[in-house]
Amino acid sequence: MEQVNLDIQHAIRKYFPAITEKALQEEIASVGKVLSFKAGERIMDFGAYVKMVPLLINGSIKVVREDDEQDQELFLYFLQAGETCTMSFSCCMMNKQSDIRTTAEDDTTLIGIPIKYIDEWMMKYPSWKNFVMRSYDQRMQELVKTIDNIAFYKLDDRLLHYLQEKAKASSSSTINATHQEIAQDMNASREAISRLLKKLEKTNHIKLGRNKIELVQ
Amino acid sequence: MEQVNLDIQHAIRKYFPAITEKALQEEIASVGKVLSFKAGERIMDFGAYVKMVPLLINGSIKVVREDDEQDQELFLYFLQAGETCTMSFSCCMMNKQSDIRTTAEDDTTLIGIPIKYIDEWMMKYPSWKNFVMRSYDQRMQELVKTIDNIAFYKLDDRLLHYLQEKAKASSSSTINATHQEIAQDMNASREAISRLLKKLEKTNHIKLGRNKIELVQ
DNA sequence: GCCTTAATGTGATCTTTATCACAAGTAATA
DNA sequence: TATTACTTGTGATAAAGATCACATTAAGGC
């Protein structure tokens, strides 16, 4: 993690057009800290007390749920520029420990807002309130989509879907990951993933390389 | 569904102690409609456009996700007195179709608030804003718990958990349901549920009857 | 170029759950 | 009471994935 110098107001106007009030943009600029993370860097760990809410302006963040008892985890969704982590809201407001883990999927830059403003601004700036509400809605949608996925679909469909999400997150049709990493995200066995990837290659959905998967078309 | 006469302000004070402003209580009383539903009655269907947000004052509501394409569904959680349906918020605000289904689990009474006030009151009444935020957080938590369940646990654990939730929702240790209904909620086969119930009976967790399951202690 | 290490491929076997096919029990009612 | 419609029980079989046990392949460091 590294603190960066950057014109916050400009970034907000560009990536968060829904945040319209000038005064709010100024407040964000004055209290926000611009942080950047290298791809793969841990942003928020399980059990960490969250003190900031991130406004993403670049890159993408992977959000993962972990099962404490057993040693398992499950990918939930990616956050991208223009989005924020509502899980952080919850954690902040309730001042409770985080039960998810976030890592930078690509090199990522974000504006961190100290938690106390989240709430304060809700009553002061309508566009902030709308932004927060819309973010919550989006995340609920994502969670429901995740539920659909694991409840209603089999591993092959889930795998393809995961690959597509991952490609979209990095805006590239090439995915850099090992089968092992994918298996972990999907809470599946590496062998099953390897076999299904082969199948996807045969059906011409992907091209396989070492540490690399290319989405076809 | 039936409209009922009832002292709304009194009910709010009793079941929603977090809603503190007198003026807000009065507004709720003047715009809210008290509705009651019989156990089993459909409250909100998939695809229905939601026009009200429910504040539960009695009974409980089952929230279920349905897979449109295939004919499958999955139980998400129960809502109880003092709670509200944040999924409705999303639907209302975005004015989009509901993708979940809610049915009265028991005889249920609720105060329906026309959607336009949800947003309006957020900036006017701090306690309302807090209530809405807290509701969102609660529901996210529930969704994550649901994900944990289907991702990390096997059918027997999930079944016991489901039975416990269902008993809690009705504040009774006796559950009235057929194996078929349970299987449907859990998106599992009836035979598997029947066999696992037998196993739970043998291990002394439950007592089985026809259309009836008794949780032991 | 050789060696080490990490990544991938692959067969065999085991578990969990779904599916199919009925049998048997119980409630409701003609 | 006989009949019909649910509900539950149960075996046999199948499918999806997990797990185990290695073989093979590729990349990077020396």
**Do A23 and A46 have their domain in common?**
yes
**Do A6 and A68 have their domain in common?**
yes
Look at residue B47 and tell me whether its pLDDT is greater than 90: no
Question: What ipTM was reported for this prediction?
Answer: 0.91
Across the beta sheet with B206-209, the strand order is B174-175, B212-215, B206-209
**Do B190 and B206 have their domain in common?**
yes
CATH number of the domain where residue B36 is located: 2.60.120.10
Summarised one tens digit per residue, pLDDT across range B94-141 is: 656 667 889 999 999 999 998 889 889 998 999 999 999 999 889 998
**Do B110 and B173 have their domain in common?**
no
What average pLDDT score do residues B17-46 get?
91
**Do B135 and B171 have their domain in common?**
no
- What is the 8-class DSSP label of residue A84? B
Residues of chain A contacting residue B151, judged by C-beta atoms under 8 Å apart? 65, 67, 72, 74, 150, 187
Summarised one tens digit per residue, pLDDT across range B172-210 is: 999 999 999 999 999 999 999 999 999 999 999 999 999
Pick left, alpha or beta for residue B59 (phi over 0 → left; psi -120 to 50 → alpha; otherwise beta).
Answer: left
A139 vs B90, which has greater pLDDT? Answer: A139
CATH number of the domain where residue B174 is located: 1.10.10.10
Where among A131, A151, A171 does a domain terminate? A151
**Do A123 and A171 have their domain in common?**
no
Where among B106, B135, B150 does a domain terminate? B150
Give the model's pLDDT for residue A3.
80
Structural domain for A140, as ranges: 2-151
Query: To the nearest 10°, the Cα dihedral for B75, B34, A141, B74?
Result: 10
Say which residues have a Cβ less than 8 Å from residue B145's Cβ, sequence separation at least 6. Answer: B77
Q: How far is B140 from chain A (nearest CA, A)?
A: 7
- What is the 8-class DSSP label of residue B48? P
Interchain CB distance below 8 Å, B143 and A143: yes
Say which residues have a Cβ less than 8 Å from residue B9's Cβ, sequence separation at least 6. Answer: B25, B26, B28, B29
Number of domains in chain A: 2
**Where residue A125 falls among pLDDT bands split at 50, 70, 90?**
very high
What average pLDDT score do residues A122-129 get?
93
Going by their DSSP bridges, the two strands A100-104 and A60-67 should be labelled as antiparallel
Distances (CA, A) of A57 to A12, A77, A100, B196: 8, 17, 21, 49
Residues of chain A contacting residue B187, judged by C-beta atoms under 8 Å apart? 151-152
Phi, psi of A21 (to 5 degrees): -65, 130
Where among B99, B116, B150 does a domain terminate? B150
How does the average pLDDT of chain A come out, rounded? Answer: 90
Q: How far apart are CA B159 and CA B138, in angstroms?
A: 22
Is B129's Cβ below 8 Å from some Cβ in A?
A: yes
Query: To the nearest 10°, the Cα dihedral for B11, B92, A137, A17?
Result: -130
What three-state secondary structure class fits A168? helix
**Do A147 and A189 have their domain in common?**
no
**Do B45 and B102 have their domain in common?**
yes
Checking each nucleotide's C1' against the CA of B157, the nearest proves to be C16
**Do B164 and B72 have their domain in common?**
no
**Do A144 and A192 have their domain in common?**
no
**Do A131 and A169 have their domain in common?**
no
